[in-house]
Homo-oligomer: A and B are copies of this chain.
Amino acid sequence: MKFSITVTLKKDVLDPQGKVVQNTLQNLGMNNLKSVRQGKYFEIEINDQDVKKAEKKIDDMCKKLLANLIIEDYKIKKI
């Protein structure tokens, strides 16, 4: 069973990395850019058969390691 996880900074947290990407894109001549935010992406495959159990496990992983809940949000999707 495969899951995709996206971890993004919360809306009100400054994102200097995204800002740098935005500036670079503008320097490359891309205009009309409103905002760029960068995050992390994981694809995790686990051997569990039970979807609910698997989702619970992935959620645990996010809480324990993948996301910093103070400044980040995460989304889990089965793929």
Query: Could you say which interface size class chain A belongs to?
Result: 20 to 34
Copies in the complex: 2
Q: A64 to B41, alpha carbons, bound, how many Å?
A: 20
Q: A51 to B40, alpha carbons, bound, how many Å?
A: 25
Residues in B with CB closer than 8 Å to A65 are 21, 24-25, 28
In contact, A34 and B46 (Cβ under 8 angstroms):
yes
In contact, B46 and A33 (Cβ under 8 angstroms):
yes
- A contact set with B: CB distance below 8 Å: 4, 6-8, 18, 21, 24-25, 28, 30, 32-48, 57, 60-61, 64-66
A34/B61 contact (C-beta < 8 A), A41-B39, A42-B21 known = no
Residues in B with CB closer than 8 Å to A38 are 40-42
